[in-house]
């Protein structure tokens, strides 16, 4: 076996494709939530939306994260059975 020359080579050797796929999905969801949170914060600061909606956003994020975990678990289960 040849020695890895870059970080992507190390990822290809040590991280299985299923885990890489899950990590990419988590990164996409996390990035989207950060963007949405930033937009809500900006709109609440400008007074376009009530601050109550921005205050409730962390609970909404928790719900979305829970739904994503359920989705990922069901998808992985259906892939293996």
**In a 3-state reduction of DSSP, which class is residue 46?**
helix
42 vs 22: CA distance, rounded Å? 30
**In a 3-state reduction of DSSP, which class is residue 6?**
coil
User: Where does 1-81 have alpha helices with state H?
Assistant: 7-14, 17-46, 51-80
Enter the pTM of the model: 0.56
Q: Which pLDDT belongs to residue 76?
A: 74
24 vs 72: CA distance, rounded Å? 12
Q: Is the pLDDT of residue 4 over 60?
A: no
Of residues 72 and 10, more confidence is placed in: 72
Q: Tell me: the pLDDT tens digits for 13-70?
A: 677 777 777 778 888 878 887 888 788 778 888 888 887 877 787 788 788 888 887 8
CB atoms within 10 A of CB 41: 14
Tell me the domain boundaries of the chain: 16-80
């Amino acid at each position: 076996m040849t020695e890895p020359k870059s970080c992507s080579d190390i990822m290809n050797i040590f991280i299985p494709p299923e885990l890489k796929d899950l990590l990419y999905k988590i990164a996409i969801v996390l990035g989207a939530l950060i963007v949405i949170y930033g937009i809500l914060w900006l709109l609440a600061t400008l007074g376009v939306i009530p601050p109550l909606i921005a205050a409730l956003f962390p609970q909404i994020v928790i719900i979305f994260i829970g739904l994503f975990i359920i989705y990922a678990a069901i998808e992985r289960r259906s892939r293996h059975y």
